[in-house]
Amino acid sequence: MRPALIASLAVLTALGACQSDGTAPSAEATIVPARETFIALQSGDSYYLAAEAAVEARIAARGIKPAKNVILFIGDGMGISTITAARIYAGQSAGEDGESHHLAMDSLPYSALSKTYSHNFQVADSAGTAAAMVSGMKTLSGVLGVTSAVGFGNCATLPGNEADTVFEFASRAGLATGLVSTARITHATPAATYSKVVHRNWEADSDMRGASSDACKDIARQFIETTAVDFDIVLGGGREKFLPKETPDPEYEGKSGERTDGRDLIGEWTAKSDKHKFVFDKAGFEAIDFVSDVKLLGLFEPSHMQFELDRAKDKAGEPHIADLTRAAITRLSQNPEGFVLMVEGGRIDHAHHGGNAIRALEDAMAFDAAVAAALEMTNPEETLIIVTADHSHTLSIAGYPQRGNPILGLAVSGLGGEGGSIAEDGMPYTTLSYANGPGACRVSGKGEDGKDIWDCARQDLTNTDTYDPDFRQPALVPLYSETHGGEDVAAFASGPGANLMTGVIEQNEIYHIMARALGLVAAPAD
């Protein structure tokens, strides 16, 4: 049985009003509404208790201001090397000095290093890390909304090991809730806000290989059936997980859904009420009145949304992540109780897995534009904004390139004299490279059996266009897909509660900072 609701916590601090139209925040005062506090299902988990105590110690020493709203920005795979490279790339793309350029996220006044390991992995995945940030405890890699007591892929271990999320608490307390992602909304990071699943890949029933049942539901089904979170706006990709195999995709000829249970979950969404709407393209998105009580589901691709580099060429196709963020804030701001929003730059990670730095940096720039939009639209006295990553990647910036050297180009040494930009094998090298991934090898031809012949020797890049959209940065260890990195990631913050985001923190402390700032959980008992 769900733990009982405990005493409400009145928060009666006057704060500045939040704007919903993208203009500068008003100086007019408002009141943060009184909030009920909840006890999490996972409140006895050792990771939860440790993080709760760590955050409470900082609150005792520094205090905490109440927040009306929270926006959690997650750049999937946006390690510190990605932030640095994106900063330089953004500046150089604007014709400015890249090294001294400033990203929007750089302006947030508080920062910390966040430790990303999971319960069972030294180098974690997006599922366990997202669960840590929204549920307050470390868990297994590959699972969502459950504690580390479950068995990966074992449905029988799910009952009794579920975990509550800050989104569920916010919804129960009457706040508005929303998701924005450039990945499928059933993908690990956004799905962590609402699903309870022992295998992150169970996005549709067809992904479960016979395991689908009322006791062990696929993620898309959970999104539609959940009563724990009443989402007001959800924008991202992933139509195929919601449509039956026999249903044609509304946008692409020859494509269809993936579900084998015959359920049209998009139809089930729109059937919930007259307010529930669905859009699948930019035209439909732009036709929505976000200054309303519409309940919007926008799924702009069958799978993930396009990489920003490709989206920008398709002017009629998909909205920019910054436009999605503006729309979400506008819609959620209609609720006087406040809101909780997650914005994920999901495809930064996917480009890195492909060893394709230019697409990763373009998506990181787009993600930063969404951060800038949120900073413009909200009042820092009432909205806690956190910008972080779930994990890093193996991207490296190296080689002593001179100041102003193109960040995606060959390293041209600023030292002069011996070596220059030539390695000991007599060939140049790029400033950006990966510790592992597909860039270690290239297809050099076809064998007599018709199979690709792979050449994994280092390539001479002298006459190679390293800014080609499909160029893969060199890698050391040949892998089909580049892996995550295990180092700490940055966590930037502004607004009420941001003063708790300093030093080196456990990743699951982010949940406790958000929940305490919102007044959704009480201080731990003595």
> Choosing from 126, 206, 212, 333, which is the catalytic residue?
126
Contact 248, 284 (CB under 8 A): no
**Cβ proximity of 153 and 146 under 8 Å:** no
Q: Which residue has the tokens 């669960």?
A: 131
Extract the tokens encoding 393. Answer: 């990647």
Q: How many CB atoms lie within 10 A of CB 429?
A: 19
For residue 92, CA distances in Å to 87, 99, 362 come to 9, 9, 12
Burial category of 36 from C-beta neighbours within 10 Å (exposed 0-12, middle 13-18, buried 19 and up): middle
Which tokens belong to 266?
Answer: 């998009």
Residue found by looking up tokens 């089930």 in the block:
268
484 DSSP β-pair partners: 393
Task: Return d(Cα 112, Cα 27) in angstroms, integer.
Answer: 30
Task: State whether residue 137 is helix, strand or coil.
Answer: coil
Tell me how long the chain is. 526
Tell me if residue 310 falls in helix, strand or coil: helix
Largest Cα–Cα distance of the chain, in whole Å?
A: 76
Q: Which residue has tokens 């925040």?
A: 25
Strands (E), 373-428: 383-388, 392-393, 395-397
Query: CA-CA distance, 344 to 323, in Å (whole number)?
Result: 13
Active site residue 126: yes
Helix (H) or strand (E) holding 47: helix 46-62
Distance between CA 416 and CA 420 in Å, rounded? 6
Q: How far apart are CA 227 and CA 168, in angstroms?
A: 9
State the sign of the Cα–Cα–Cα–Cα dihedral 56, 58, 60, 66: negative
Name the residue type at position 113: L
H/E run at residue 453: strand 452-455
Half-sphere exposure (Cβ direction) of 494: Cα atoms closer than 13 Å: 17
Assign 176 to helix, strand or coil: strand
- Listed in sequence order, the residues at least 6 apart from 274 whose beta carbon sits closer than 8 Å to its beta carbon are none
Beta strand 503-506 with 176-184 is unpaired
Active site residues: 126
